[in-house]
Amino acid sequence: MTRLLAYSDALAEATTLAMERDPAVFLMGVGVDDPGGIFGSTTLPHDRFGDARVFDTPISECALTGAAIGAALTGMRPLMVHARCDFLLLTLDQLANHAAKWSYMSGGRLSAPVVVRAVIGRGWGQAAQHSQSVQAALAPFPGMQVIMPATAYDAKGMLLSALTGRWPVVCLEHRWLYGLKDDVPEGFYTVEIGRARTARAGTDATVVALSHMVVEAMKAADVLAKEGIDVEVVDLRSVVPWDRETVCASVRRTGRLVVADTGPRSFGVGAEIAAVVNEELFGELRAPVRRVGLPDVPTPCAPVLEAAFYPGSADLVRTVRALVRGVDHGARGDASAARHDKPFSGAF
Amino acid sequence: MTRLLAYSDALAEATTLAMERDPAVFLMGVGVDDPGGIFGSTTLPHDRFGDARVFDTPISECALTGAAIGAALTGMRPLMVHARCDFLLLTLDQLANHAAKWSYMSGGRLSAPVVVRAVIGRGWGQAAQHSQSVQAALAPFPGMQVIMPATAYDAKGMLLSALTGRWPVVCLEHRWLYGLKDDVPEGFYTVEIGRARTARAGTDATVVALSHMVVEAMKAADVLAKEGIDVEVVDLRSVVPWDRETVCASVRRTGRLVVADTGPRSFGVGAEIAAVVNEELFGELRAPVRRVGLPDVPTPCAPVLEAAFYPGSADLVRTVRALVRGVDHGARGDASAARHDKPFSGAF
Amino acid sequence: MIQQAFSDDELLRGDRAMLLVRRAEERVVRQYAEQNADFARGVQPAHAIKCPTHLSIGQEGAAVGVCQELNVDDVAISTHRCHAHYLAKGGDLRAMMAELFGKSTGCARGKGGSMHLVDPDVGMLGASAIVGGSIPLAVGAALSAQMQGRTRVAVAFFGDGAVEQGVFHESLAFAALRRLPVLFVCENNFYATLSHVEARQPVGIPQRATGLGVASVTADGSDLADVLHAARGAVRRARAGEGPTLIEVRAYRWMSHVGTEPDTGRMKRSAEELALWKDRCPLAVLRVRLAARGVPAATLDAMGTEVDAAVEDAVEFARRSPAPSPEDLFTHLAGEGAPS
Amino acid sequence: MIQQAFSDDELLRGDRAMLLVRRAEERVVRQYAEQNADFARGVQPAHAIKCPTHLSIGQEGAAVGVCQELNVDDVAISTHRCHAHYLAKGGDLRAMMAELFGKSTGCARGKGGSMHLVDPDVGMLGASAIVGGSIPLAVGAALSAQMQGRTRVAVAFFGDGAVEQGVFHESLAFAALRRLPVLFVCENNFYATLSHVEARQPVGIPQRATGLGVASVTADGSDLADVLHAARGAVRRARAGEGPTLIEVRAYRWMSHVGTEPDTGRMKRSAEELALWKDRCPLAVLRVRLAARGVPAATLDAMGTEVDAAVEDAVEFARRSPAPSPEDLFTHLAGEGAPS
Ligand SMILES: Cc1ncc(C[n+]2csc(CCOP(=O)(O)OP(=O)(O)O)c2C)c(N)n1
Ligand SMILES: Cc1ncc(C[n+]2csc(CCOP(=O)(O)OP(=O)(O)O)c2C)c(N)n1
Ligand SMILES: [Mg+2]
Ligand SMILES: [Mg+2]
C-alpha cells in the first residue's frame, strides 16, 4: 500500500502528529497562519490546532528564537519556521551562542530542544538575500544538529525525530523539494538523525548529495547509467552529525567521490566530507574527490546568471564521467538549471 | 634597524596611520575609548584623534555594523572593533546579507569597504560564549574577506591593506597574540590580503597554521627539528581569499600536510584546505592530510577541561611525527596548553 | 489646510512623480499578464520579468512626498518594495525596466532585480530584501554626512513590519543619541505580507519612536500635501542638526504582497477595506485638488501621455537590451568604482 | 513609607539574603587576593578561581528584592553578573563556589563558571554572557507558563547596557503583545563596563519600555522595601494576566566591572560617586531600619555568623571537591534529563 505524499504535506503531517502526541509541541513563525502556510507545510497543523498552538509572530526572528529556547528550557517543544533560511542569520546569536550551548554550559542540567525549520530559496531571480543555503555557517557550532531531508519520507521521519529528541535542530528544506512526492506511511515513525541513505546503489563512483542535489544526482546517475557508468547516490540527510561510516563504506567500494551540495563549494559542507574521506581512505581512492556546489559569488538575479550560478545534473554527469574516464576538467556551472523555472505563482 | 612592536601596538599604529592619511577613516565599537583600549589596540588612535573619530558605541552591534556599511557606501572608511568575535554572531545578517552582498547586488555600482576587527578569546575560563573563533562561519559568504594576521608585522600591514582596499574585511585577532613582539617598520606599508607567509622552511612536512596556531606550529617545529624532522610552517594569514598556490607548492615539496586552526576541527577552515590540497595533489601526498583544531564541543570553563579542549604544540608534534614516521594515531587534545594561563588581570 | 502651503508647480511635480510610479507599475502588471499567458500556452517569451516583484500601487504618496523634499545629493535606501522610492528619488526609468527584465543595462546590471534597485548618481543607495536590514545603513549614511560636515540628509524607507526588528530600535536610538540627519519613513500599509499590524504590535509606531528618543509625525499617504509637509519639517530638522524624525505614512497597498494580483480573494484583507482605500487614491485625491485650483485638464492629460511614452520607451529599451553573459557572474564582487 | 508594608520577618529574610550575597562575594574577593599573591610568588595554588568574575557588591537589593517576591516554581535568568541572582533565587551556595573553582560538583559541573550559574531545581535557568542574550529566554519561559496554564512568572535580570540591544526591544514588544507573565528587571548601575548610560542612551529606560507597550516602575536599589514593593506589584500583574512589567532598579556596582578591584583609579567613575553610593549601601540602609524597628543587634549578629559559616563551608566544599576529568569534556552536549 503506497501513499504518495508531497514533501510539504509530509512536513505538515509530521507537525500535526507531533502536536497530537505531545501537547508541549507548538509551531510559530512569520506567516505560519497564512493561507499559503509556508508553502503548504503549516496549513494542516493550523487548521487542526488553531491559533493557540500555531501562531504567527512579529518579524522579530532573533527574540522569537530566544523565546523558543526559553520555552524549550521550561518543558515546551517549540517548532519555529522561516520562509527563507537567509533570515537565520538574524538569529545566529540565539542559535549558536545560546541554543547550541545552553545544555553544555549548564553541565547538562537543562536541555534546549528547539526545532527550527527554514526554507532554501532558489530561482525566479530571488537574488542574493533570498536564496542562500546556510548549512556551512551553522555546522561549525557544536551543540546543535543540522538536517536536510531530501524526500517526503525523510522530511516526516526526521522532523519527528527532531521533535522528540533532546537537541536543538535546524532543518533546512529546499523549496524545490516541496512538490516532490514520495511513499509516506501514515502513522508515527522516526528517521534517525545522523544516518545517511543510499538512494541508489552503484559501483563506479559515489555521489554524496545534500537536499535538492539528491534529485540532481539521481538524474545524473540515470544519464551515466546509459553510458555504462554505475553511480551510487548517498543522500546525506543529516549534516550534523553526518554519517561517516556509510559515506566511507560507499567510497571504499567505488573508489571515487563527488560531493554535491546546495551551498557554496568553497568552505562548504562538502569540504568536511572531502577532508574526512581523503583522510580515512588515504591511498584507497582511484580519483580525487570533487565537490559540486555554488561558485564564490552571491546569487545573481537575471535568468542567464542564475543558470550559470547553479550547478545541476549536467555538472554532476560531467564531473563523474571525467573521474571515471580519467579525464577530469573539474566542475563548472552550466546552464542546465534554467529549465526548472516555473511561471511566477506569487509564492516564489 | 629593528623596531620591536607588540601586536596590539601594531594594530594601533596601523589605525593611526590610516587615519592620518585618510580623513574618511574612523574607529568605533563598544569600549574603544576605554582606558584599556581593546587590549591596547585603540588607545593610540583615541589619544591622537579624540572622540570625534574614535568613539564608543551603544551595545547595539547589529545596527552599528549596518551603520558602518552605510557610512562606507557614502565615502567613509569605518573600522569597527569587537572585544570578542562571539559578538559577531549578532551582526551576521549585516555582515553576510548586507556588507558582503551590497556591491554585487548593485552591479558593482557601490562598494562597502567596512573593516571589522574582532578578538578571539581564550583561557581563564571564559567558557562557551567568549572564546569562539568564528572564521568557518564567515568564510562561506562570498563578498567579504576574512584575515587572521599572526604577527605584529602582518597585523599592521594587513589592517592597512583592509583600510585602503575595496572589500568588506573581517580581521580576527587572537588575544594571545596581542603581547607578541615583532620587527615592525614605522611608516605605511601594506601586506597583500590573500598571500600566505612561509614562516619557516622545511622539507618533511608542511604545517599550515592560522593565527595563534602559528605560534604553536613554530614551537612544534623546534621540537621536531631536534628529532630530525624538518617542518615547513606556512602562516595562512588570510582565510578568504586563501593562498592555494603557496600552500600547494609547499605540500608538493614536503608531501605531508597538517592544518592547525584556532577554530573547530570539524567543518572548520582546515576542511577547505584539506579538500583542495587533496584534490590538487592527488596521488602526490605521502600521508593523509591531518587537521588539528577544536573538538566538537563548546568551550568549557574549568581549567582541566580547557586544557583538554585546546590543542597545542604537543598535538602538532605528535601529529607531524606520526605522519613522518608512518605511525599515525590521529590528533587529540592534550593538557599542554594549561601553562599559558596568566594570573587574572581584569582584561582576560 | 496644509495643501495650500504648496504651489501648483510643487503639486504638479508630485502628480507627475506619482503618475510615473503608477504607470510604470501598471505596465509591470501588464507585462506579467502577457508573459503568464505565454507561459500558460507553453511559450517562453523572448523577454520576461523573472524576479519577485512587490508593487507600491496605492502607496505612491509616501515615496513621492518624501523624495520631493530631498536634493539629489541626499540619499535614500529601501526595501523589497523599492520601485517607488527608486523612481521618486530620480532613478533612471530605463535602467529600472532593464533590471526587472534581467538585462545587462539594468541599474544593477541584472545582478539585483526588482528588490535591489540602485542608482547612486541620484542618491538611491539600494534596497535590502531583509525586513529592517537597510534601516541602519541609512543611519550610517547620516553619520557620514555628520562627520563630513555636509548637509546631506539620509532617508530609510521601510514598512510597518520592519518596526518589529531589533535593528530598527538600535538604529533609532543611535540616531537620536547622535542627532543624526536621518528620516525614518515607515510606510504603514497595515500589513506585513498577510498579517495585520494590530496582531503584531502592541503600540502605535510613533509611540515606539518616542520611546527611542526620536521625534515623529504621522502623515496621510492619500494626501500628497500632508506627506510633503511632514517631510519638509523632518528635512528641516535634520539639516538644522536637530536630529532624526520618524514619519509614519499611512497608505494602502492595492495589489498582493508580491506579484501582480489583488490578493483580497485568498487572504485576510477584505474587499471592503480595499475599496475604501481605493476611494482615497493619492493620485485621484490630488487631481481633485489640482482641478479645484484651476489646473487645466489638458495639462494633466499631456502629462499622462508623456509619462506613458516614457514608460513604453523604457520597456522597449529593456527588451532591446542584451542579457548579461554568463561570465558576468564573476564581476562586481567588490565594487567597480571608489565610493562617492 | 513603603517599607512599613513589609513585616519584620520579610525584611529579615531580605537582610539575610543580601548578606549572603555580600559575604559570598567578599569571600571571592579574598580568594582572589590570596591566589594572586600566590601567582605573584610564582606558586600555582592547589585551588583557584579561574574564570571572569563579575561581582554584584552594592547591587544586592535588586536580586534579593525581586527574588523574594517569587516562588521556587518561578524562573529567573541572568547575565555575566549572575551570582546575586543565583543565590537570591535559592541556588545552592556550595555548588556555586565549586563552580567558580572549576570543580565537578559545581552547579554546572565546571562547564560554565561564574558567568553561567544555573540551578533548575530552584528555577534558576542559567545566565548568558552575551549582553541582552538571555532576555528573550525569559520571555520564552513566560510563554511556556501561559501556554501550560500555570501561574509561573519568569524574570529576566539584565543591566542597563542590555537595553541597547535589538533583542531587548523585540522581547518587550512580544511580551506586551501577548501579555506574558514576565518581569524585565533592569539593574541600572549607570555603567556598561566603563561607559556611562547617558553617553549611550538618548532616553530613560522606563520611556523605552513605554514605547514598547510595557508598564514600568523605577525602584531604589538601596532600599530593599522599594524593590520588594515594585516586584510585588509586577508579580501580581503578571499572575493576574495583566502582562509584563519592566522594573528599573537603580543601584551601583562598587567593584570593577570584572574582577575584584575597585576600578575608580584607572577609569571614568569617580571616587566621589562611589563614596556617595557606599553611603547608601542597601545592607546598611536596611539595618538602620531594622534597628529602628527594634530588631535586636544580636539577631543580626547571629545571622552574620551563620552566613559566614555557610560561606566558609561552601569554599571548603569547593576545595575538597574533585576537578572534572578530561573525558568530561565530551559530556552534557544535549542535556542529561528531560526538560522540566
Ligand atoms: C528578516 C526577514 N523576515 C521575513 C521576511 C519575509 N518578508 C518579506 S516582506 C515581509 C513583510 C514586510 O512587511 P512590511 O515591512 O510591512 O513591508 P510591506 O511589504 O508591507 O511593504 C516579510 C515578512 C524577510 N524578507 N526578511
Ligand atoms: C553582545 C555583547 N557585546 C559586548 C559584550 C562585552 N560586555 C560584557 S559586559 C558589558 C557591559 C554590560 O553592561 P550592563 O548591561 O550595564 O551590565 P553590568 O555589567 O553593568 O552589570 C559588555 C559591553 C558582551 N558580553 N556581549
Ligand atoms: Mg506593511
Ligand atoms: Mg550596567
Cα–Cα distance between B162 and B151 in angstroms, integer?
Answer: 16
Q: pLDDT tens across B64-120, in order?
A: 999 999 999 999 999 999 999 999 999 999 999 999 999 999 999 999 999 999 999
> Quick one: A135 and A24 in the same domain?
yes
Q: Does C335 touch chain B (CB under 8 A)?
A: yes
Which of D179, D181, D137 lies closest to D158, judged by CA? D137
Set of chain B residues whose Cβ sits within 8 Å of the Cβ of A92: 89-90, 92-93, 137
Set of chain D residues whose Cβ sits within 8 Å of the Cβ of B302: 50, 102-104, 106, 110-111, 113, 323-324
Predicted local distance difference test score (pLDDT) of residue A323: 97
Which of B101, B259, B236 lies closest to B172, judged by CA? B236
Residues with CB under 6 A from ligand 1: A 30, 59, 61, 83, 87, 90; C 80-81, 129-131, 159-162, 189, 191-193, 257
Predicted local distance difference test score (pLDDT) of residue C4: 72
Non-local (6+) Cβ contacts of B100 within 8 A are: A298, B141, B142, B143, B144, B168
Task: Judge whether A243 lies within some domain.
Answer: yes
Set of chain B residues whose Cβ sits within 8 Å of the Cβ of A133: none
All residue ranges of chain C with pLDDT < 50 are: 337-340
Predicted local distance difference test score (pLDDT) of residue C338: 39
Using a 10 angstrom Cβ sphere, with 0-12 exposed, 13-18 middle and 19 or more buried, the burial of residue D198 is exposed
Cα–Cα distance between B128 and A293 in angstroms, integer?
Answer: 32
> Quick one: A109 and A75 in the same domain?
yes
Q: Point out the residues of B that are catalytic.
A: 130
Is D112 in contact with A106 (Cβ distance < 8 A)?
yes
**Gap from C180 CA to chain D (nearest CA, Å):** 12
Counting from 1 in the atom list of ligand 2, the atom nearest the Cα of D59 is 21
Give the CA distances from residue D128 to residues A94, B237, B288, D169, D171, in Å, rounded to whole numbers and listed in that order: 10, 32, 40, 17, 15
> Quick one: A277 and A154 in the same domain?
no
- B91 CA to centre of ligand 2 in angstroms: 16
> Quick one: A135 and A237 in the same domain?
no
Q: Which chains touch A (3 or more CB pairs under 8 A)?
A: B, C, D
Q: Does B115 touch chain C (CB under 8 A)?
A: no
Predicted local distance difference test score (pLDDT) of residue C134: 97
Predicted local distance difference test score (pLDDT) of residue C2: 67
User: Is residue C208 within 8 Å of residue C215, measured between CB atoms?
Assistant: no
Give me the CATH number covering residue A284: 3.40.50.920
> Quick one: A14 and A154 in the same domain?
yes
pLDDT (average), residues B265-287:
98
Q: Which of A46, A82, A98, A130 is catalytic?
A: A130
Q: Is A130 a catalytic residue?
A: yes
D202 phi, psi to nearest 5 deg = -75, -25
Pocket of ligand 2 contains residue D257 by CB under 6 Å: yes
For chain D positions 237-296, those within 8 Å of chain C (CB to CB) are none
Task: Judge whether B192 lies within some domain.
Answer: no
User: In this model, does residue B345 exceed pLDDT 60?
Assistant: no
* B337 confidence band (pLDDT: 50, 70, 90): very low
**Gap from B6 CA to chain A (nearest CA, Å):** 31
**Gap from B96 CA to chain C (nearest CA, Å):** 11
Work out the percent of chain B whose per-residue pLDDT is above 90: 93
> Quick one: A171 and A134 in the same domain?
yes
End-to-end CA distance of chain D: 40
Q: Does C207 touch chain D (CB under 8 A)?
A: yes
Task: Judge whether A51 lies within some domain.
Answer: yes
Q: Does C147 touch chain B (CB under 8 A)?
A: yes
Question: What ranges make up the beta strands (E) of chain A?
Answer: 4-6, 25-29, 54-56, 77-82, 115-120, 145-147, 169-174, 181-183, 197-200, 205-209, 231-235, 238-240, 257-264, 290-294
User: In this model, does residue B343 exceed pLDDT 80?
Assistant: no
Number of structural domains found in chain A: 2
Is B129 in contact with D114 (Cβ distance < 8 A)?
no
> Quick one: A213 and A99 in the same domain?
no
Predicted local distance difference test score (pLDDT) of residue A347: 43
* B336 confidence band (pLDDT: 50, 70, 90): very low
**Gap from C294 CA to chain A (nearest CA, Å):** 43
- D206 CA to centre of ligand 1 in angstroms: 29
Task: Judge whether B250 lies within some domain.
Answer: yes
Predicted local distance difference test score (pLDDT) of residue B63: 98
* Angle separating helix axes A7-21 and A43-53, nearest 10 degrees: 40
Over its length of 348 residues, how does chain A's per-residue pLDDT go in tens digits?
689 999 999 999 999 999 999 999 999 999 999 999 999 999 999 999 999 999 999 999 999 999 999 999 999 999 999 999 999 999 999 999 999 999 999 999 999 999 999 999 999 999 999 999 999 999 999 999 999 999 999 999 999 999 999 999 999 999 999 999 999 999 999 999 999 999 999 999 999 999 999 999 999 999 999 999 999 999 999 999 999 999 999 999 999 999 999 999 999 999 999 999 999 999 999 999 999 999 999 999 999 999 999 999 999 999 999 999 986 544 444 434 334 444 444 445
> Quick one: B29 and B135 in the same domain?
yes
- C165 CA to centre of ligand 1 in angstroms: 10
- C81 CA to centre of ligand 1 in angstroms: 9
> Quick one: B207 and B325 in the same domain?
yes
pLDDT (average), residues B123-145:
98
Is B143 in contact with C148 (Cβ distance < 8 A)?
no
Task: Judge whether B348 lies within some domain.
Answer: no
Q: Does D164 touch chain B (CB under 8 A)?
A: yes
By 3-state DSSP, what share of chain A in percent is helix, strand and coil, each rounded to 5? 40, 20, 40
Instruction: Write down the ipTM of this complex.
Output: 0.97
> Quick one: B141 and B265 in the same domain?
no
Q: Does A343 touch chain C (CB under 8 A)?
A: yes
Pocket of ligand 2 contains residue D116 by CB under 6 Å: no
Torsion on CA atoms B1, B7, B8, B9, rounded to nearest 10: 10
Cα–Cα distance between C106 and D64 in angstroms, integer?
Answer: 63
Give me the CATH number covering residue A41: 3.40.50.970
- C324 CA to centre of ligand 3 in angstroms: 33
Ligand having the closest approach to the CA of B130: 2
Is D36 in contact with B333 (Cβ distance < 8 A)?
no
Q: Which of C195, C268, C327 to mutate to test the interface with A (most CBs of A within 10 A)?
A: C195
Question: In which domain, by residue range, is B101 found?
Answer: 2-185
> Quick one: A36 and A143 in the same domain?
yes
Q: Does A335 touch chain C (CB under 8 A)?
A: yes
Set of chain A residues whose Cβ sits within 8 Å of the Cβ of D166: 62
| Beta-carbon count within 10 A of D229 CB | 19
Q: pLDDT tens across C44-84, in order?
A: 999 999 999 999 999 999 999 999 999 999 999 999 999 99
Ligand having the closest approach to the CA of B82: 2
- D42 CA to centre of ligand 2 in angstroms: 32
3-state secondary structure string, chain C? CHHHHCCHHHHHHHHHHHHHHHHHHHHHHHHHHHHHHHHHCCCCCCCCCCCCCCCCCCCHHHHHHHHHCCCCCCEEEECCCCHHHHHHCCCCHHHHHHHHCCCCCCCCCCCCCHHHCCEHHHCEEEECCCCCCCHHHHHHHHHHHHHHCCCCCEEEEEEHHHHHCHHHHHHHHHHHHCCCCEEEEEEECCEECCEEHHHCCCCCHHHHHHHCCCEEEEEECCCHHHHHHHHHHHHHHHHCCCCCEEEEEECCCCCCCCCCCCCCCCCCCCHHHHHHHHHCCHHHHHHHHHHHCCCCHHHHHHHHHHHHHHHHHHHHHHHHCCCCCHHHHHCCCCCCCCCC
Q: pLDDT tens across C249-265, in order?
A: 999 999 999 999 887 66
For chain D positions 158-187, those within 8 Å of chain C (CB to CB) are 164-170, 173, 176-177
Q: Which of B128, B280, B282 is closest, CB to CB, to A105?
A: B128
Domains and CATH numbers, chain D: 2-318 (3.40.50.970)
Instruction: Please state whether the peptide bond connecting residue B78 to the residue before it is cis, i.e. omega within 30 degrees of 0.
Output: no
Give residue D197's Cα distance to chain centre: 20
Candidates C80, C83, C114, C187: which one to mutate for ligand 1, based on the most atoms within 8 Å of Cβ?
C80
Task: Judge whether A100 lies within some domain.
Answer: yes
Q: Does D320 touch chain B (CB under 8 A)?
A: no
- pTM score above 0.90: yes
Counting from 1 in the atom list of ligand 2, the atom nearest the Cα of D253 is 20
> Quick one: B166 and B201 in the same domain?
no
Set of chain B residues whose Cβ sits within 8 Å of the Cβ of C136: 62-67, 69-70, 94
Conformation bin of residue D278: beta by default, left when phi > 0, alpha when psi is -120 to 50: alpha
Task: Judge whether A11 lies within some domain.
Answer: yes
Task: Judge whether A91 lies within some domain.
Answer: yes
All residue ranges of chain D with pLDDT < 50 are: 337-340
Residue given cell 597538517 in the structure block: B258
Predicted local distance difference test score (pLDDT) of residue A334: 40
Predicted local distance difference test score (pLDDT) of residue A105: 98
Set of chain B residues whose Cβ sits within 8 Å of the Cβ of C152: 74
**Gap from B172 CA to chain D (nearest CA, Å):** 18
- D82 CA to centre of ligand 4 in angstroms: 13
C268 phi, psi to nearest 5 deg = -80, -20
